[in-house]
């Protein structure tokens, strides 16, 4: 299985940008990089995903290293509502089906007022 | 309207009982999933169905049987419940099974006493 490595926890101040790193040195050429987040007592929520190029959406930006062995999720201005566990996941052909997402431990982001 | 809804939200039951969790999605997606999140917060895929057909069946005891009456519904029936089945179960759906983003339900917290 392709695996990802993330810090267990990070802290941020409200209104400041947050950079959440993820290492995936064993990524294969067809693996997509996905980010999800899980707020307390809720189901995971899609944040962003990409393959090679950097991606932007209304929630965040995804910066992918040129060799694709690492990526960074960027929250441009953290709010208290962004406090959650952030999962960096690779999707590939696991379990006979592309798109099977294997969640790791994630990074618990705390946001201070 | 909730995109992926699952019921019940909480389920408390005795060991040995049989219980079901229902899931419905109104997004017109082809693929639905069941994930289990244990006490250590690891989120693991259990099953995946595409257009009512089983695609992924991870190493899950036979006591767990998914049923998909149509592509908008994926129910999970659990026989002879055991203490170790206590967890939060999440239903999810995606447009296809291939690198598409997942939409998760809010979870069913199952407690087996």
**Residue-wise pLDDT tens digits, A52-68:** 999 999 999 999 999 99
| pLDDT above 80 (res B57) | no
Report d(CA A13, CA A56) in Å as an integer: 22
Tell me what pLDDT residue A100 has: 67
Q: Is A45 on the interface with B (CB under 8 A)?
A: yes
Q: Is B98 on the interface with A (CB under 8 A)?
A: yes
Q: Do A43 and B104 touch (CB under 8 A)?
A: yes
Using CA coordinates, name the residue in chain B closest to A41.
B106
Give me the mean pLDDT over the B87-101 stretch. 85
Mean pLDDT of chain B: 90
Give me the mean pLDDT over the A73-89 stretch. 96
| pLDDT above 70 (res B98) | no
Distance of CA B10 to the CA centre of its chain: 14
Q: Cα distance from B95 to chain A (closest Cα, Å)?
A: 11
Q: Is A43 on the interface with B (CB under 8 A)?
A: yes
Q: Do B45 and A34 touch (CB under 8 A)?
A: no
Query: Which single residue is written with the structure tokens 């170790």?
Result: B84
Q: CA angle, B89 as apex, A90 and B86 as ends, to 5°?
A: 120
Q: Do A46 and B103 touch (CB under 8 A)?
A: yes
Residue B80, Ramachandran bin (φ over 0: left; ψ between -120 and 50: alpha; else beta): left
Q: Do B96 and A99 touch (CB under 8 A)?
A: yes
Q: How confident is the model at residue A94 (pLDDT cuts 50, 70, 90)?
A: very low
Count of CB atoms situated within 10 Å of the CB of B113: 10
Tell me what pLDDT residue B17 has: 97
Residue B26, Ramachandran bin (φ over 0: left; ψ between -120 and 50: alpha; else beta): alpha
Mean pLDDT of chain A: 89
Q: Do A34 and B101 touch (CB under 8 A)?
A: yes
Report d(CA A69, CA B46) in Å as an integer: 28
Tell me what pLDDT residue B110 has: 97
Q: What is chain A written as a DSSP string?
A: ----B--SEEEEETTS-EEEEEE-TT--TT-EEEEEEE-TTS--EEEEEESSS-EE-SS-EEEE-TTSSEEEEEESS--GGG-EEEEEEEEEEETTEEEEE-----EEEEEE-
pLDDT tens-digit readout, B58-85: 778 899 999 999 989 999 999 999 999 9
| pLDDT above 70 (res A98) | no
């Amino acid at each position: 299985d392709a695996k990802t490595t993330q810090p267990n926890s990070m802290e941020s101040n409200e209104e400041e940008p947050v950079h959440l790193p993820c290492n995936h040195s064993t990524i294969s050429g067809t693996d997509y990089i996905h980010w999800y987040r899980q707020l307390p007592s809720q189901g995971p929520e899609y944040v962003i995903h990409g393959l090679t190029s950097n991606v932007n959406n209304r929630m965040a930006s995804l910066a992918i290293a040129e060799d694709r062995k690492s990526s960074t999720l960027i929250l441009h201005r953290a709010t208290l509502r962004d406090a959650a566990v952030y999962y960096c996941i690779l999707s590939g052909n696991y379990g006979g089906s592309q798109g099977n997402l294997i969640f790791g431990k994630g990074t618990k982001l705390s946001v201070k007022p | 309207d909730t995109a992926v809804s699952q019921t019940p939200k909480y389920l408390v039951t005795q060991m040995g009982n049989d219980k079901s969790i229902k899931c419905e999605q109104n997004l017109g997606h082809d693929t639905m999933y069941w994930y289990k999140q244990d006490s250590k917060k690891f989120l693991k895929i259990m099953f995946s169905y595409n257009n009512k057909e089983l695609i992924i069946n991870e190493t899950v005891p036979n006591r767990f049987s998914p049923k998909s009456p149509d592509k908008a519904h994926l129910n999970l029936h659990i026989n002879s419940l055991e203490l170790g089945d206590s967890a939060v179960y999440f239903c999810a759906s995606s447009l296809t099974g291939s690198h598409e983003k997942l939409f998760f339900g809010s979870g069913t917290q199952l407690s087996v006493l």
